[in-house]
C-alpha cells in the first residue's frame, strides 16, 4: 500500500467518523487543534485505525501522533515493516 493510499483511507475514515464531506485535510493538519478531535474521539479513531489496518497501536505511540503527517509516517512505517 502506498503512502497516498494510506492517507486517502485515513481521510475517508475521519470524514466518516466526523460526518463531514467537505473537510480539507493535509499532512500538516493537527488532529486535536484543527479538527477539534477530543481525547475520547481520538481513541475511538485509533481503534478504528487498528481495525482498518490490522495493527496494534500502543498508547504511547498515539501521544506522538499530533498531526496527520505524524500519523501517516507511523502507519506507513508499521505497514511496510509488517510486510517484510
Q: What is the DSSP string of 43-60?
A: HHHHHHHHHHHT----HH
pLDDT the model gives residue 23: 79
Instruction: Assess if residue 84 is contained within a domain.
Output: no
Instruction: For residue 50, give the nearest of 16, 75, 77, 25 by alpha carbon.
Output: 75
Give the three-state DSSP class for 76.
helix
In a domain, 83, yes or no: no
**25 occurs within a structural domain:** yes
Q: 32 in a domain, yes or no? A: yes
Number of domains in the chain: 1
Name residues of the chain where pLDDT drops below 70: 82-84
User: Which CATH number fits the domain that encloses residue 71?
Assistant: 1.10.1200.10
Task: State which residues form the domain around 31.
Answer: 3-78
Amino acid at each position: 500500500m502506498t503512502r497516498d493510499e494510506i492517507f486517502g483511507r485515513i481521510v475517508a475514515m475521519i470524514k466518516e467518523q466526523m460526518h463531514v464531506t467537505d473537510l480539507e485535510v493535509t499532512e500538516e493538519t493537527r488532529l486535536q487543534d484543527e479538527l477539534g478531535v477530543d481525547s475520547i474521539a481520538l481513541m475511538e479513531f485509533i481503534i478504528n485505525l487498528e481495525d482498518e489496518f490490522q495493527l496494534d497501536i500502543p498508547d504511547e505511540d498515539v501521544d506522538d501522533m499530533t498531526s496527520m503527517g505524524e500519523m501517516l509516517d507511523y502507519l506507513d512505517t508499521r505497514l511496510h515493516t509488517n510486510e517484510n
